[in-house]
Amino acid sequence: MKKVVVFLSVMFMTISYGQEIKQVPQITVSGEGKIKVIPDQATISATVETKGNNAKEVKQKNDEQIDAVLKLIKKMNLAPADYRTQRVALNPQYDYEKKKTTYNATQTIEIIVRDLNKYDELMEGLVSQGINRIDNVVFQSSKLAQYESEARKLAMKEAKHKAEDYVSVLGQKIGRAMTISDNTQSYTPQPVYARMKTMAMESDSAQRETLAVGEITITANVSVNFILE
């Protein structure tokens, strides 16, 4: 019985090694799709920073300025969902040379401006009501999901076109896709640091332009493995 088992095992191994491994002709290519759009909204990160010798007074003054800022935002009819307190801090700062402790209070508000026509008015109002630090301004598109979808389709078309270019000189055609890998990096809008002119630098009658939104690029990258026919 043992001899029969050994014989069958050797026979199956011989057949296995004797079989030719069938290879499927394939080609792997990458594709990129880019959509350039003009942003239609902005996210502003603005901070009120207050300093002084008394912690309670510093915090109270900071709260008063923030209260004025929030009233301005509401007056401009921004939706409640479009602004929020992002960060609150009250920190002691000890001066070893003077051997004295001072306090620094900060509150940061994040504001989404969905109508860029309100941008300049809002910026001026923020500064006049106590905002003394604009951390950054990020320009975005409200149709991001739609543009990302378009970029993905362009990336796939480029990958297919590239594969067809490669195999056309060989007299072959590409078949169905075996695998598709999405290599797209998560889209992160880059901050644009705003330059705000003071009222003293401008005459009341002068028309000021403090906003140049430019374009943002939404990119998709794919890697596709096609069967060759």
Beginning with the edge strand found earlier in the chain, give each strand of the sheet holding 133-140 in spatial order. 83-95, 100-113, 41-52, 133-140, 191-192
Query: Is residue 6's pLDDT more than 80?
Result: no
CATH 3.30.110.170 location in the chain: 22-40+142-197+208-229
Return mean pLDDT, the chain: 84
Write out the two tokens for 28: 């792997």
Query: Is residue 157's pLDDT more than 70?
Result: yes
41-140 placed in CATH 1.10.490.10: no
Question: Cβ–Cβ contacts within 10 Å for residue 222, how many?
Answer: 20
| Confidence at 209, pLDDT banded by 50, 70, 90 | low
Q: What is the DSSP string of the chain?
A: -HHHHHHHHHHHHHHHHHSPPP---EEEEEEEEEEEE---EEEEEEEEEEEES-HHHHHHHHHHHHHHHHHHHHHTT--GGGEEEEEEEEEEEEETTTTEEEEEEEEEEEEEES-GGGHHHHHHHHHHTT--EEEEEEEE-TTHHHHHHHHHHHHHHHHHHHHHHHHHTTT--EEEEEEEEE-PPPP-PPEEPPP---GGGS-TT----------EEEEEEEEEEEEE-
- Would you state the pLDDT for residue 5? 47
- Would you state the pLDDT for residue 110? 97
pLDDT in tens, 93-137: 988 988 899 999 999 999 999 999 999 999 999 999 989 999 989
Handedness of CA 179, 185, 186, 189 (dihedral sign): negative
Q: How far is CA 213 from CA 32, 87, 186, in A?
A: 24, 26, 21
Contact 34/218 with Cβ under 8 angstroms?
yes
CATH 3.30.70.2970 location in the chain: 41-140
Query: Is residue 175's pLDDT more than 50?
Result: yes
Q: What percent of the chain has pLDDT over 90?
A: 68
Global pTM reads 0.70
Tell me the Cα Rg of the chain: 31
Write out the two tokens for 179: 């695998």
CATH number of the 22-40+142-197+208-229 domain: 3.30.110.170
Phi first, then psi: what are they for 48, rounded to 5°? -100, 125
Nearest Cα to 123, choosing from 62, 51, 192?
A: 192
> Rounded to an integer, what distance in angstroms lies between the CA atom of residue 24 and that of residue 28?
13
